[in-house]
Structure 1
Amino acid sequence: MFKKEEDFIENLNQIRRIKTSFVIADKTIKTARNGKDYIEFSLTDKTGQITARMFPNQGANDIYQGIEKKSIYTINGTVDEFPRNSGNFSIKVDSFQKMAKDEYDLDDYIRTSHKDQDELVNEIFLTINEIKNPHLKNLLKAFFCDETFTDEFYNAPSAKIYHHNYLGGLLEHTVEVLMICKKTCEIFPEIDQDLLYTGAILHDIGKLKAYDYDLVTIDISSEGRLLDHLFISCDMVKEKIRDCKIEMPEDLQTQLLHIMLSHHGDVQNGWGSPVNPQTPEAVALHHADNLDAKVRGILQTKQSPKN
């Protein structure tokens, strides 16, 4: 059964009754001001994500326990806007029913990058070919000539919630950051562009291990929660240098690892960097990454109902 066009999340922007299907990506038990428990859902389809809430008269915990995350359900309820005229839409759920696999078309729920994957991949390979530093070029080739790595990298998401949180999102984010870095080097030609471009391409590779994902849902892995993708990315680089016997001066390796570890900005921001960016390349990568994440996050919000 195909979803109707008006029932995709990107079109839930007016108060009305609905009966349609979504992936229940997440669920939480919360307590209202009146002391009663209610259930909050994160619902997704191929066009976005929206919050939904169910306020049962009783038995909220029993209902909650019976809900299967990462499954597709028919939802009966009302699209509501609160506060009025705020543009913040959510769904008040009256009832729901899990759907059998032969009752839906999976393509209605798979969120993917809308950009041309071949063009994104080509941009990475063109950049690798243009890099003059042989140590950095060999490191990038070791990653991108590895078919197992590239299969994962080209299809992975870049986040669970905030930006590029769909299949192919990591590749899209990486190339967008790379393009911002290239513009930065036009303004500041003194920057070591080979080092910066290598950092841009590799800065988030740890997300391959930091997220568990399938066709319809994304979650943070145990390794991602305990180590964070910044550390994992650096560990993957060090492992590749060692296993592929790549000759790289220690100072160059330190510079590369520094810009990767510090790309979330100053430690005091609390965004995960264990060290402040201290070189021009590190500062440039941080701002390129932050600019792309923030702008893409806002654009995604505008493309879906606020909730």
Structure 2
Amino acid sequence: MTQAATQPSGPGQPRPHVAIDKIRPHTYVDGTYSLVNPQCGTAKNGKHFLKGIIRDASGELAIRQWTFDESQLGEIARTGFVWIGGQAQEYNGQVQIVVDSIRSVEVDIEDLARLLPASQKDIPAMEVELRRIMGSLTHPAMRALADAYLSNEPFMARVRQAPAAVSVHHAWIGGLLEHTLQLLRLAEGMLPLYPELNRDLVLVGLFLHDLGKTSELTWERGFSYTAEGNLLGHTVKGVIMLSAMASKVSRDANVRIPADALLVLQHIVLSHHGSLEFGATKIPSTPEAIFVAMLDNLDAKTAIAIHAAQRSKGIYPGQEFTDKVWSLDTRLFRPDPLAASSDTLPTE
């Protein structure tokens, strides 16, 4: 059995930590991690147990504590970070940690870089490319609206930092920018195939669609929802921000955004989840809104599948399928059947 550490850190001592991507079955884990979505479950025998996910910059793992006092859930989740002690085990081909002990801990700014996942892409380079694409808008009102967001440096600092979600897709520092840029790239490639669509409306709609997440989410102490996020959500907050920004453009830049164009952009933000079942306030009801919703769904679900399959980490016998990915409603077959295949036909 591999022993990672023996004692939790004391004051002034470095916090013990084993990177999640280094944890293997039969490892005893003793360290500090970010805690995601802790819940109290009920076993078939009626006893309560703790389930959740621990995360750091290298990955995430499921945790279970089979004997658990439900009244302790709030205290464990209080800071968004926990010290745990427990045994890593293999279950259905996946590693999970059976926790012996768990408690909430306070962490320092220096800890966050290794406890929170971050985009593997170059964030300044992504912002440069986003600005280039938005600079290609041709309608003066759309250019002025985009510039009003892009010139607000405190706001753009949050765009660069924000995750795109707490746990579903692009749930890492810089995830919002990465997701938004990917959608803009997809649109640039696909819009020439659909010349009837208004390019400016699509690009501005994609840029705006998730900007409410800069207020919906907090990431300073782990990923969670703000009061605005819980009470309004990012689509409603996004529309409020859009209305305020349109007024600012009219007042400061003396550029009036056509009323119908503003209405359609508001509709795109409210409808981009595609259906009422998945959180849309309205069903997408313009060609551009449908296009935006479909691209958003494409990138989100593809990112979820790639993240869940974890092909780069190696696939051992018995690990060919993931656990059920609830956001996709299926278990994923992980291997790439053509990778390093001995059956590859020789080239001429």
Query: Shorter-chain-normalised TM-score: which range?
Result: 0.7 to 0.9
1:226-261 residue CA offsets vs partner (Å, 9 max, x unmatched): 222112111111111113324111111122222222
Tell me the residue number matched to 2:246. Answer: 241
Tell me the residue number matched to 2:213. Answer: 207
- Structure 1 residues 287, 13: closer, same or farther in 2, change over 3 A? farther
- Structure 1 residues 229, 78: closer, same or farther in 2, change over 3 A? same
2:311 aligned with 1:300, yes or no? no
Tell me the residue number matched to 2:143. Answer: 137
Measure the CA separation in 2 of the matches of 1:19 and 1:12: 11
Structure 2 counterparts to residues 141-156 of structure 1, below 5 A: 141-156=147-162
- Structure 1 residues 240, 65: closer, same or farther in 2, change over 3 A? closer
Q: Given that residues 26 and 69 in structure 1 are in contact (C-alpha distance below 8 angstroms), is that contact kept between their aligned partners in structure 2?
A: no
Measure the CA separation in 1 of the matches of 2:105 and 2:283: 49
- Structure 1 residues 218, 66: closer, same or farther in 2, change over 3 A? closer
Deviates more, 1:195-204 or 1:246-255: 246-255
Q: Given that residues 203 and 263 in structure 1 are in contact (C-alpha distance below 8 angstroms), is that contact kept between their aligned partners in structure 2?
A: yes
Partner SS state of residue 113, structure 1: coil
Measure the CA separation in 2 of the matches of 1:158 and 1:186: 27
Q: CA deviation at 1:300?
A: 1.8
Q: CA deviation at 1:21?
A: 3.1
Measure the CA separation in 2 of the matches of 1:71 and 1:229: 21
Aligned pairs, number: 296
- Structure 1 residues 210, 65: closer, same or farther in 2, change over 3 A? closer
- Structure 1 residues 41, 252: closer, same or farther in 2, change over 3 A? closer
Counterpart of 1:144, as a letter, is L
Percent of residue pairs bearing the same amino acid type: 28
2:82 aligned with 1:82, yes or no? no
Structure 2 counterparts to residues 156-305 of structure 1, below 5 A: 156-214=162-220, 216-245=221-250, 246-267=255-276, 270-303=277-310
1:3-30 residue CA offsets vs partner (Å, 9 max, x unmatched): 67xx422344545433343223443322
Tell me the residue number matched to 1:10. Answer: 21
1:105-125 residue CA offsets vs partner (Å, 9 max, x unmatched): 443213211111122111121
Q: Structure 2: any 5+ residue segments left out of the alignment?
A: 1-13, 314-318, 324-348
- Structure 1 residues 68, 194: closer, same or farther in 2, change over 3 A? closer
Counterpart of 1:200, as a letter, is L
Tell me the residue number matched to 2:332. Answer: none
Bigger share in helix? 1
Measure the CA separation in 1 of the matches of 2:170 and 2:150: 21
Q: CA deviation at 1:207?
A: 0.7
Q: Given that residues 25 and 70 in structure 1 are in contact (C-alpha distance below 8 angstroms), is that contact kept between their aligned partners in structure 2?
A: no
Partner SS state of residue 100, structure 2: strand
Tell me the residue number matched to 2:127. Answer: 121
Counterpart of 1:37, as a letter, is H
Deviates more, 1:128-137 or 1:186-195: 186-195
Measure the CA separation in 2 of the matches of 1:293 and 1:12: 27
Counterpart of 1:10, as a letter, is D
Measure the CA separation in 1 of the matches of 2:107 and 2:100: 23
Q: Given that residues 15 and 31 in structure 2 are in contact (C-alpha distance below 8 angstroms), is that contact kept between their aligned partners in structure 1?
A: no
Tell me the residue number matched to 1:47. Answer: 58
Counterpart of 1:49, as a letter, is E
Q: CA deviation at 1:202?
A: 0.9
Measure the CA separation in 2 of the matches of 1:181 and 1:253: 20
Q: CA deviation at 1:140?
A: 0.3
Partner SS state of residue 130, structure 1: coil
Partner SS state of residue 247, structure 2: helix
Measure the CA separation in 2 of the matches of 1:98 and 1:275: 40
Q: CA deviation at 1:100?
A: 7.2
- By relative contact order (CA 8 Å, sep 6+), the higher-ranking structure is 1
Measure the CA separation in 1 of the matches of 2:298 and 2:131: 23
TM-score, normalization: structure 1?
0.86
2:117 aligned with 1:111, yes or no? yes
Pairwise CA RMSD = 2.5
- Structure 1 residues 63, 149: closer, same or farther in 2, change over 3 A? closer
Partner SS state of residue 244, structure 1: helix
